[in-house]
Structures are given as structure tokens and as C-alpha cells.
Structure 1
């Protein structure tokens, strides 16, 4: 399968958060934020230009039930991949960041293989590469179309980006989307792209911890916010979009939970990190209604919808909602699963018919 590379730069920290920090009068806040924004902008442009010139080659890996992980150290320079510091099967590193990155890649590989029968990101054994210690005080982590990159954070607003396993799973899932539905990174299709990454990022964390739906925190990036944040728990909440933070430094979490508060904006590719709260909440409601392990029935409906070949790259929320209902019907018949899906989308204001 050949996938188009649209040159999308997918970072975990939303631009509106970095914009807010960049406007701070405190140099501890604005200097790392401005540097990160400037760097992300350059990466975004570079990826767009590269995408115009190339089409991603077909996957050439050999599917295996074991991951092939390699961790590189950028040594605080903005270079990729950096110096190789850990290969698959080697003893743990003395560097905790390297070990966390390696473990997060492994946790992601394991969920996709054990639960969904998927062999790595492309389902063809793609090696999993990651670069750590990227840049100086770099406040982001991203999937660049072929590998993961992690900043160390500034130590005040953001800590090391390898700390939350759901952040690693989120970013790698952008790769899964790239190789399947390839959702356009703008407007509602872009918000679906972000939401799918939040969904599977959260499932990867829940699977690794063996959590049921009621045990999970449904937070994205819990543990990432540093000591400079007084009133914030994570980057996003799937359970209660708009409540992850309300802080003098970060501002107020702008995510809506329903279509009543849908945000129309030209910023952030049409609000992809903001309006993703709506499908996030829908998934949380489906998982909660079905109970047990969210990666099972709810997760299988979302995965089959993403990978089934029916989801258009420019799909809107209503398209995705209709397909999840149809997928639930195909997988489980006219049972609790279909009712949970229909009710969840109704609760967030997205039509399924």
C-alpha cells in the first residue's frame, strides 16, 4: 500500500497553548514557547515542501510479532535522528528518557498487535525509531511521518515528553492514520485525526496499566505539566473536554464537549486540537456505556472504522459517526454496542442518520 505524505506536522502541544505562553511577559515562559513555535513552523514548512516533491514509498518491512525499536539521542541539538543509543533487545539504558521512549514504543506496538492484529504502524513491520533530547528546552513531541521526536520540555511548564505513555501512543497513532484513512489535517477531518490519536493514546495507557473504563483517568498528557502550572492536570480530558486546565499561565482549556460549542477558527488548521474534544467525548461515552476494557468493544469499533476502507480522507464528524454505528452493527449485530454508539453521538450533538 502506498500512502500519500501530506507533509503534516503533528505535535502533541496545541498551538494555542504555545501562543499563550509566547505572549507571557515572563522570559521563563515566552522564550521556550517562542523557540518551539519558531522551530515547529520551520518543520511544518519543510514537511509541506518535501510532501510536494515525494510520495511515501510502499512499506518494505517484514511483519513480525516483535517490535524493532531504535532510540537516538539528539544531544540537545535540533537534528534527526541523532546518535544511536539503544537498539532492540539491548539492556536498559542509564538514561531514563531513553528507557521511557523505548517502553512507550513497545506499549504502542503491543496494543496494536495483541488487540487489533496490526503489525506495527503500517501493518507491515515498520521499524519504530525515536529521537530523544531534541533541541534546548523544546516544548513538544511529534511524529514526523516516519519517526518519533521528543523534547525534554523547559522543566517549568512542561516536563520530559517521554513521561506520559499516552503522548507516545497518540503521536504514533498519527502514523497509523497516515497509513489507513489518511484523514486530512484540517477542520473536522483534522479534528477526527487528532481525536483518533487521543483515543488510541488513551487505550495504550489503559492496556499497559490493565485499567477498566471506570479506572482510567481519560486524560491526555497527565504528568506532563511542570511545577510552573498551578491549576492543570493534563493537555486534554476526554471525559470532560474543557476542564484539563484553567491556569494563569496556560489559560483556560478551550475544548468543547458538544456541537453546541463547536469552535469556528482558521487557526490551528481549523481548530483540530480544539474541536477534537467532541469525538473524544463520544468515544468516552461509548466506552463508559459498555464498561469493561475500552480497547475491546469500543476500541474495536473505532479501529475497524479507521482501517476499514470506507472512511474518506475528508470525512466530517457526521460521516465518522454514521460509520461507527454501521461498524458496530457489522461487528456485534443489533445489541448494546450499536445503542451505545448512537446514544453517545446524540449526546455530543452529532447526527448518525
Structure 2
């Protein structure tokens, strides 16, 4: 077995969740009857807000049945996510047997049927006709669209470059308000139906989770601090590019939203995150206001949420958006290829900060397009606009 197909070492925190903990905390606290347990303080990004914020159209005062349901389900999701994040992976050694040596697309969709176990019961495999379950069909299609994107744009066979079988589990948990990559597969909850729709309803979320899988087999950035924020950001970039590729949207016409369609109509928001305008994706009585910064001027220095990985990812996200829109055309071509080449060539240290990543993208721009090219200038301007100064580190080279 060559280096490309070797399973990575087990990660003590292998699961990457789509919904950030600070958003779930707002939901958990919306009925005014909950305070985060001490053991969870490092997991969340902010304390529960005080007071009764209410729901649109509801009278002030405690006791809303809707708020109670939302809060109860969010607390359950938070506790489950915390347990998952602190559970060591035990299935990495099984990855090798899930390779298709011919490099063909192979998908396996399973149904957890409301249980908190994976993978569940297999309900659809490669080549089978669609079934009656819309979630299984959307997951199957989403895995195929990610595979097609990698094959068409980067000549890469699946996430690992060697035909890794793409697996997904749907209907995970009861009203589970999240999705995650667990080191071997994508896992999708149904949502609670009041704040979140099913997590299979957003292709950018599906592709975001598989983006963590791509990083696992390229540059597996440490999931803490700025390297963790880069991990989240690159997964967001991947999610946005896959969605744009499938829709045929160029950089100017794309929404640049991660999780568009995930919120129900009751929520005052459009998505989990906006790459075009971090901090504007939602502003809702239950969820609060999107706290992502767009530039280093708003950088959140916190020990929570693994050092603010879901918060500060807005900064490199916005840099990519500025870069891609300055170039024009299809974002997945020049801008996306450059980002992919940086992680695929493994030129980054696993603990890379924003400055190191910026410098590596500029070096890649010079390699791909020549020193002083329009691409390099647009990229330098994008990093400057978000306040990230490229940093040259000797350890990165060689």
C-alpha cells in the first residue's frame, strides 16, 4: 500500500461538526432555563444570553412551548456533540478495505433510523435506483457531486486520491441539529424542523463535511486556533466551490453562503455562514447575531470552540471570496485550483497560522502564474484587505 492510501493516525478529536457550538448554545439557552455545565465551558464560544429573547410574533414572557422544544433539542445536540468530539476514532484502520482499486465512484448510504450509532442499515449502494427516502437520495447525489468535482477539476479519485469509497449515514439521532465528518464518513441529522431542516438539504454542508475528509488525506491541519480556523475555512471553500460547480454559478453570481436552505422559514437568517460578508448570515431572536469576523480587526481571541475555529474562519473565508471575485469567472478554476494545490502539495505545517497560509498561497500563485502576475496581485490585495500579513517560515520549505 503506498503512502497516499495509508490510513491516517487516529485523531483524538476526529469529528468536525457543521453547526458551531456557539449557535447551539444560543438555542439551548432560549427558554431562559439553562446554564452551561462547567465541563462544557471550553466547548462553547460564549455563555448563554440572559433573559427571554422570545420568538418573532410571540408575546414576551417565559414558557413558550416552541422555545422549550428548541432548547431541549439543542441541549441534547450539544451534549452529544461534546461526547463525539472527545471520543477517539476507532475505525481508521478499516479505511483500506473501503478503497476501490480501479478508482471508480463507489457510494454507500446507510440509515441510522434515529439511533446515535453509525453506520446503520445500508439502504443504497452504487448504481442502485433512488428510493423513497429523500434524505438518502440527496446524500447519495451529494457524494457523487463531490466526487465529480474532484475528478473533473483536480483529476483526483475520491478524497484520498485512490478511490476511497464515499459513505454517508442519514437520520442520525432524534431531531439531531448537526452534521459531521467522523474520519471515515459523513453523518447527517434530520434537524428539529423548527430551526433546522434536514442537513441533507444543503449541498454546501455535505461538501463541507467531505472537505474535512479531503484535508485528512492532504494537509491535516491541527484543529485548534488559527490552524483549526484554516481547517474550517478550507472546508467552507470546498463546500462553496462544489455548490457553485454543480449550479454553474460564477464568482459574481454565486451566493457564497454555507448552509443555504438549512434554516426553516421561521429563522431570520439565510445560512450558517457568509463568505462574502462574514457576520451577516443570521440575526435571529433565538440564534443571536452571526459573530464571525471578516478581518483581523475583529479576530476573536478565545480558548473556547478549540480556540475559535468556527469564528475566525470567517477571515480566510473572506480573503478567498475577495480573491475569487477579483479574478472573475468560475471560482473553482484559478482560485480554487490554487487553494487545492497548496493543501495537496503538503507544503503547509499542520500548525500553520493565517500568515503562513497566506505566504504559501502567494508562493503557489508565483509557481502557477509567474511572479508579479495579475493572480498574485489580486491574492496579495485580498490578504491585505482582511489584515493578514504573509509570514515566511523556514520550516515550511523542504
User: What band does the TM-score fall into relative to the shorter chain?
Assistant: over 0.9
Return closer, same or farther for 1:290/1:258 CA change in 2, 3 Å cut-off: same
Is the 2:15–2:85 contact (alpha carbons within 8 Å) kept by the matching residues of 1?
yes
Gaps of 5+ in 2: 32-66, 392-398
1:119-130 equivalences in 2 (<5 Å): 119-130=157-168
Find the aligned partners of 1:309 and 1:247 in 2 and give their Cα distance: 40
Partner of 1:244: 281
Determine whether 1:45 maps to 2:86. yes
Q: Does 1:167 align with 2:212?
A: no
Distance in 2 (alpha carbons) for counterparts of 1:304 and 1:169: 18
Query: 1:151-189: CA deviations, max 9, x gaps?
Result: 000000000000110100000010111111110000000
Deviation, 1:336, is 1.2
How far apart are the structure 2 equivalents of 1:276 and 1:209?
Answer: 24
2:220 to 175, 179, 182: 182
Is this contact kept in 2: 1:212–1:291, CA < 8 A?
Answer: yes
In the other structure, the counterpart of 2:362 is 325
Paired with 2:125 and 2:95, the residues of 1 have a C-alpha distance of 24
TM-score by length of 2: 0.85
How far off is 1:43 after superposition?
1.2
Contact conserved, 1:63 with 1:119, CA < 8 A, in 2?
Answer: no
For residues 217-262 of structure 1, the C-alpha deviation after alignment (integer angstroms, 9 at most, x for no partner) is: 0000000001331x20000000000000111110010100000110
1:234 aligns with 2:287: no
Look up the SS of the partner of 1:162 in the other structure. helix
TM superposition shift of 1:332: 1.0
CA distance in 2, matches of 1:98, 1:220: 21
Aligned to 1:111: 149
Compared CA separation, residues 179 and 69, structure 1 to 2 (3 A): same
Of 293, 296, 306, 2:343 maps to 306
**Match among 359, 383, 388 for residue 345 of structure 1:** 383
- Verify: 1:12 aligned to 2:18, yes or no: yes
Distance in 1 (alpha carbons) for counterparts of 2:338 and 2:247: 21
Does residue 236 of structure 2 align to residue 198 of structure 1?
A: yes
Cα distance, 1:66 vs. partner?
A: 3.3
State yes or no: 1:155 paired with 2:196.
no
| Residues 310 and 164 of structure 1: CA distance in aligned 2, closer, same or farther (over 3 Å) | same
Counterpart in the other structure of 2:63: none
Distance 1:66 1:99 in 2: 19
TM-score (structure 1 length as normaliser): 0.96
Q: How does 1:62-77 map to 2 (within 5 A)?
A: 62-64=100-102, 66-77=104-115
Q: In 2, distance between residues paired with 1:148 and 1:62?
A: 18
- The answer as to 2:306 corresponding to 1:269 is yes
1:86 and 2:91 equivalent?
no
Q: Which runs of 5+ in 1 are unaligned?
A: none
| Distance in 1 (alpha carbons) for counterparts of 2:283 and 2:94 | 44
Q: Which of 1 and 2 has greater Rg?
A: 2
Closer/same/farther in 2, CA of residues 147 and 55 from structure 1, 3 Å limit = closer
Alpha-carbon distance in 2 for matches of 1:88, 1:261: 46
What is the DSSP-based 3-state SS (H/G/I as helix, E as strand, rest coil) of the residue aligned with 2:170? strand
